[in-house]
Amino acid sequence: MSDVRVITRERRDRLGEGPLWSARDDSLFWVDILGRRINRMAVADGRVESFEQPHYAAWIIEREAGGLVAGIGRDIVRIDLDTDMREAIVSVDPRNAGNRLNDAKADAMGRIWAGTMPVTCDRPSGAFYRLDPDGTLTQVDGPYTIANGPAIDPDGAFLLHTDTARGTIFRFDIHDDGSLGDAAPFILFEEAWGNPDGMTFDAEGGLWVACWGASRVMRFAPDGTPDRHIALPASQITSCTFAGPGLDRMFVTSASDGVTEEHGGALFEVDPGCRGLPAQKYKG
């Protein structure tokens, strides 16, 4: 693990998730869902700021028009971290107070794909949604116990999504109208790999998956076969993203909730040996 760097900062995340590289801000953003915080690290000098939120901070995505959009509790909001401004776009699962948002990505059409799950992680009360730029919210799949890791094919032809509790990454064709085809099992996790969590594509079409419970991130070839992995000094690995001007640095989030590991909840940097793709932005 000599090539793994633990980012120095004052706190550990209870449930670190959703790392996002912003070339516009020259910063890495990520959330601590259970700690109800959004974190921002200036890559130039490593300075980390942490912004407390009123509810579970599920994810954060850039807006094409400027600024950020975030999933907070069951609400999707436009947000300004420096002024603490939040402007509601839509509420998700309004009739299920036991659910919260969990993990999301934008696609090249400027839509957001976001899942929900029960706070208790113990029943299939969650679902998968598409938020269009005009603010229209549509449920596209369900039910889910732990909706996780959407990753959109660079060509926009399909997306990958998982229910971490089921240990399977599913592939969905994306239709022209934004609807999804039937779920097709794409990668069935073996026991030694833990459970699939957050994921992202690299520029070569490889899929990088955070392996909850297995102390690693794994790369899968475009056909879904395992290619290699990078070991990490924490068990609960949650997500990963490419960052830096060349998109050749990888940052990995983890969780400390329920473990006493020295580096549980740390943010790591590793050398992926390849380049990533720019994150897409929400056009709403």
* Binding site feature residues: 17, 100, 102, 148, 197
Q: Which of 132, 197, 248, 271 is catalytic?
A: 197
Distance (Å, rounded) from C-alpha 257 to C-alpha 264?
A: 8
Cis peptide preceding 245, ω within 30 of 0: no
The DSSP call for residue 110 is: S
The DSSP call for residue 193 is: G
Distance (Å, rounded) from C-alpha 204 to C-alpha 227?
A: 12
Residues 6+ apart with CB under 8 A from 168: 162, 185, 186, 187, 188, 189, 196
3-class DSSP state of 166: helix
Distance (Å, rounded) from C-alpha 275 to C-alpha 284?
A: 28
Cβ count within 10 A of residue 165 = 18
Nearest to 269 by CA among 81, 78, 41: 41
The DSSP call for residue 279 is: P
Nearest to 278 by CA among 7, 62, 48: 62
Catalytic (active site) residue 134: no
Which residues are known binding-site members for substrate? 100, 102
Annotated catalytic residues are: 197
